[in-house]
A and B are shown apart, each in its own frame.
Chain A
Amino acid sequence: MNYRSIWSIYQFEMARMWRTIAQSIASPVLSTSLYFVVFGSAIGSRMESINGVSYGSFIVPGLILLSVLQQSISNASFGIYFPKFTGTIYEVLSAPIGHLEIIFGYVGAAATKSIILGTLIFLTSLLFVPVHVEHPFMMILFLILTSVTFSLLGFMIGIWADGFEKLQIIPLLVITPLTFLGGSFYSIDMLPPFWQKVSMANPVVYLISGFRWSFFGQGDVSLEWSLGMILLFLGICFATTRYIIKTGYKLKN
């Protein structure tokens, strides 16, 4: 393992973020603030509390994850798509480094950005609604695991995409619906039984449930299920990414 190479890629990618700090941070923070204003304060004040948690507070974990998922995917996919697009990827591909260095460098940077962003959104939420975190350690763990998993997913999308439209399409058609239907704004048991069953096939349900558990000590599924599912998902993403890089898919002729 060449740590210097990983560090170089990581730093280079982080530098790209600091350069575009305004867009990277401002737009997700702003849009989440709007959600808090509309759903948390305006509508939320007329809603019943869910399992003893006021609606405004209830949506905080889901909203944080919503942004973290979207940003992990878009950061990581763009991070690898851009050098592929401009051709500068030749340097990384001809460097004396293995697949792991490439993955750790790019995915590590994308995940770091998401974690920073998730933290900022959390801090923003404190301005709007009272939030109490029951299990801070688990909350941080879920944030990290989710960021890494979805950065891996984004990284694969970036390798696969050969046009800017393709970069957008999976987040738009798959990830956004899954997050909205994953219980960001409601508890799964508020759904009719049939849709409750369907929801169980949505991996995002487990992420949001686990994250919400770390806040309020309660979720739609048990903590073990949540943790198990996210670790499983992480493992699958990691193994697939590694395999893709190894085969040189879309990177080498």
Chain B
Amino acid sequence: MSSMVSIQNVTKTYSGGFKALDQVSFDIKSGEIFALLGSNGAGKTTLIQAICGLLRITEGAIEVGGSDVVLNAKNAREKIGLVPQELCVDTFESVWNTVSFSRGLFGKPKDPGKIEKILKDLSLWDKRKNRVMTLSGGMKRRVMIAKALSHEPEVLFLDEPTAGVDVELRKDMWNLVRKLQESGVTIILTTHYLEEAEEMADRIGVLSKGKLLVVEDKDVLMKKMGKRQLILEVEDPAVNLPLSLDRFHYTQKGSFFTFQFDVVNEELSIGALMSEIHSANVQYLNLQTKESSLEEIFMEMTRI
């Protein structure tokens, strides 16, 4: 896959002297869903604003679809749809007008059929004649998404699209994002719900205090960073386990033993662990495995 967004050594120092981004470099591939994670103030929004031309970067370069966002801003921006983190909408306008305005602003010819489809996809069709101020918060966020989609972007930035959105709507949002991906749109989203990134993302980038900690395939990240555990409930808590099991760094809590295993290293694999347990002839009542969630991985990483 070719790269859709390319970020090279980007540093942003705000006028007060605060360094919000520090030598960040990575690529976002065409057609993927990329989740940008990081705690409050990590620099996620700053990075998105830098890509979309809403702030000037101090150092480095960014390309979108091969066009530099500063030197060739028009070409780069044509491809971008942005849904910012803050809820900001034209309160006095009707839903239909504000969405149509966005399309025109981006220089696209009128296409009522297109707008109709977007509003229907976002369940806003019934509200098209309402003024934006009469909508609920979740609806307003969808209006912002509709505005970003109205000009048919190739890359869509969703800065915390599901903040303050109820569970049902969040699921709808996920489906929408998947549908967009199927239609070929590259999606970059930020979220504080890690299960959301786990569920949606193809790749994950983690920012911490302006620095990029990691960019990785979600599955690889989970595999590499994730701990896998096997929990064994034994009949006799006083059982003596053979020394050969020490390499699995087990801990004991009453009749429960927790072993760590690895998916990469054969020596430490679950197969090796099971055969050791069998050959030691340990009698057990129950056995279960557990993988750490992205949440645990994330906590682990950003603790440093």
Contact = CB atoms under 8 A, between A and B. Distances in A.
A96 B75 contact: yes
B82 A90 contact: yes
B141 to A, nearest CB: 13
- Counting contact residues on chain A (CB < 8 A from B), the size range is 20 to 34
B53 to A, nearest CB: 6
A92 B105 contact: yes
Interface residues of B, number: 35
How would you classify the secondary structure of chain B's contact residues: helix, strand, loop or mixed? loop
Contacts of B91: 86
B54 A95 contact: no
Interface in B69-93: 73-78, 80, 82, 84, 86, 88-93
A96 B54 CA distance: 12
Contact of A87 (B14, B82, B86, B102): B86
5 contacts: A11-B101, A88-B90, A91-B82, A93-B53, A95-B106
B292 to A, nearest CB: 37
B117 to A, nearest CB: 20
B105 A87 contact: no
Given A5-B104, A5-B105, A5-B107, A93 B54 contact: yes
Interface in B90-146: 90-93, 97, 101-109
Interface of B: 14-15, 49, 52-56, 73-78, 80, 82, 84, 86, 88-93, 97, 101-109, 147
How would you classify the secondary structure of chain A's contact residues: helix, strand, loop or mixed? helix
A86 B92 CA distance: 12
B255 to A, nearest CB: 58
B15 A253 contact: yes
B147 A95 contact: no
Contacts of A96: 73-78, 106-107
Given A2-B107, A93-B54, A12 B78 contact: no
